[in-house]
């Protein structure tokens, strides 16, 4: 007979890690479906929207800075940025202060796509997280606390 799993939980639904995994998978599926008509993956959206936000705030953004902001792996970020560049949604230009880096700039089409996508993503989030009793404020604060820990 096989041994039981040596867990401290009496039931899997007591595990915050398992629950987070399950909820994340459902949320990602909802986001994939919402973004599919725009021909964007969720990571493409995150990087394009982050770039658009950062450049709009007046910054010159390098690939490394974008990866840091989005908390993405730098190598994966590079691959996704190549795809976005190929789609005509961003450009790489000479960086004004770092000759080793490239400055990333969303194209006009990239900004337009980012703005269409943010509306879709935020509507998806409202529907998905709207089920939280008491609203999302406390949930967002808890997530921020976990991220910043």
Of 101, 86, 84, give the one whose Cα is nearest residue 43.
84
- Tokens read off for 99: 């000759």
- Tokens read off for 105: 């700039």
| CATH class entry, domain 43-127 | mainly alpha
pLDDT 10s digit of each residue in the chain, 149 long? Answer: 778 888 899 888 999 999 999 999 999 999 999 999 999 999 999 999 999 999 998 888 999 999 999 999 999 999 999 999 999 999 999 888 888 888 999 999 999 999 999 999 999 999 999 989 877 888 899 999 998 98
pTM: 0.89
Asked if residues 24 and 114 have their Cβ atoms less than 8 Å apart, the reply is no
């Amino acid at each position: 007979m096989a041994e039981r799993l040596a867990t401290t939980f009496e039931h899997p639904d007591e595990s915050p890690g398992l629950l987070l995994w399950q909820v994340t998978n459902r949320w990602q599926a909802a986001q994939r479906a919402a973004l599919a008509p725009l021909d964007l993956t969720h990571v493409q959206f995150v990087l394009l929207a982050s770039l658009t936000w950062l450049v709009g705030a007046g910054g010159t953004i390098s690939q490394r800075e974008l990866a840091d902001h989005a908390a993405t792996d730098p190598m994966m970020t590079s691959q996704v940025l190549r795809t976005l560049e190929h789609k005509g949604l961003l450009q790489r230009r000479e960086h004004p202060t770092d000759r080793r880096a490239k400055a990333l700039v969303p194209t006009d089409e990239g900004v337009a796509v980012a703005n269409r996508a943010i509306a879709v993503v935020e509507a998806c989030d409202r529907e998905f997280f709207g089920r939280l009793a008491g609203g999302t404020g406390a949930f967002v604060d808890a997530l921020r606390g976990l991220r910043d820990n």
